[in-house]
Amino acid sequence: MQDVISRQRAYFDTNVTKPISFRIEQLLRLKRALEQREGVLQEAIAADYGKQRYETFITELLPVYSEIDAAIANVAAWSTPSPVASSPFTSPGRCYVMPEPLGVSLVIGPWNYPVQLTIVPAVGALAAGCTVVLKPSEITANTSAAIANLIAEAFDPAYVTVVEGGVRETSALLAHKFDMIFFTGSVAVGRIVYQAAAKNLTPVVLELGGKSPTIVAPDANLPLAARRIAWAKFLNAGQTCIAPDYVNVHRSIYEEFLDALAKEIAASRYGLENHNFVRIVNARNLERVAALIDQRKVFTGGLVDVDQRVIAPTVLRDVNWGDRVMGEEVFGPVLPTLVYDDIDDVVSQIKQRDKPLALYLFTEDAGTKRKILSDLSFGGGAINDAVVQVTNGDLPFGGVGTSGIGSYHGEAGFRSFSHYKSIVDREALTTAEEQQFRYSPYNDDYLKIMRQTLGIRPG
């Protein structure tokens, strides 16, 4: 691994990654490689967890293509130094901020969207002019191998390379010095990555998880809320970091909402018999998610097929915070629903816990929207929808508190892999004011003049 990293450092030090033309060429190369190997990626994902081709396209490939296209279109603008106004001590002179690539970067991916969540951060890195070591999740082993082949065929490993493996290999990578580490995964491993990065004071982006709440207010359009919540929850069989983890529903509409949800699940033909429904990634996760289903609280679903690794879309009713399902991120197709009477109680419950990665609110009431958006802190979210915030590349994507540090997508991704260098560029000339006010000997009259000039009132 030392050899891989040293070669990348030497390559970066040649400055070859810095011209915008080079970056665009490499982004195009990545796009071509993905287009050519789309079939292989599709098969690998299907082999890993039985995902249907269209779902794979919209959740794994489309986000990568969109990110590459946006980077190609905008990298020149993002890289252009931006001027700022001069201050008394820098005037006359030109002040500006110029982005520069951080250097050799490490991207560690999770298994739940194994292509998107490994390649999209890499697009930000390449746009910024960094070199990249990618470490896909070992749990989706077929996809990891497909990504490794694709990258090896398209790129010089001194520029972009894949290291495959699990805890042992990732730990070995983290023992080395990188200039930037981008991690997506669990909060527990996020802490390990942060500690490893701290040894070298390496900047990080941590894209983590947690329980993302959804609130359905009494005035919500219930059929639409049920439709969008069911889609967001059961997409990828609930193995989505920003899926609605649980739903708080106002008592006055609780039964009606549950019925709408059940109707939606039936109509969408999510379920055990439906070969379109994504598998749980492995037996361990299947067992973990199945154990969160309290059969006494099942409103619909509740069936587990261990051999097929499928859990039927499950809605739990009358759940409360003491239930086991509320003790951890569900990360599977099980949706606990909680009844509320007063929205202030919902706000207070959410505030007592870790800041979520996402929050969704279904209401058309402006006051309710204002209240939730101003009272609660969370990574990002949607009103009258769920999950779709991730599809707009102009919206920075990331968590807050334990749900993450930093953000990416579009320019935010470019920024995360860049250092913004502040520059003052002055003529080699001096002015009378500079002679008088900058250099000693100093004099109390200057203090008065300076305060007056700057509008600082006498104390």
Among 354, 36, 317, 345, CA closest to 188:
354
- Give the shortest CB-322-to-ligand NAD separation in angstroms: 22
- By DSSP bridging, strand 131-135 and strand 104-108 are parallel
Catalytic residue among 207, 264, 329, 411: 207
Structural contact between residues 363 and 383, judged by C-beta atoms closer than 8 angstroms: yes
Catalytic residue among 38, 60, 130, 241: 241
- Give the shortest CB-430-to-ligand NAD separation in angstroms: 52
241 has catalytic annotation: yes
CA distance 449 to 443: 10
- Looking at the Cβ atoms of 103 and 398, the one nearer to ligand NAD is 398
Q: Which residues of 384-417 are buried (b: 16+ CB within 10 A; e: fewer)?
A: ebbbebbeebeebbbbbbbbbbbbbbbbbbbbbb
CA distance 71 to 12: 20
- Looking at the Cβ atoms of 396 and 399, the one nearer to ligand NAD is 399
- Looking at the Cβ atoms of 91 and 186, the one nearer to ligand NAD is 186
- Give the shortest CB-57-to-ligand NAD separation in angstroms: 19
- Give the shortest CB-234-to-ligand NAD separation in angstroms: 16
- Looking at the Cβ atoms of 111 and 340, the one nearer to ligand NAD is 111
CA distance 381 to 333: 20
CA distance 204 to 180: 6
- Give the shortest CB-273-to-ligand NAD separation in angstroms: 27
427 has catalytic annotation: no
- Looking at the Cβ atoms of 26 and 112, the one nearer to ligand NAD is 112
CA distance 146 to 456: 64
**Interface residue list for ligand NAD (CB under 6 A):** 108-112, 117, 135, 137-138, 166-167, 170-171, 184-186, 189, 192, 207-209, 241, 329, 331, 357, 399, 404
Q: State the DSSP code for 279.
A: P
Question: How many other C-beta atoms are found inside a 10 Å radius of the C-beta of residue 295?
Answer: 8
Task: Show which residues are catalytic.
Answer: 207, 241
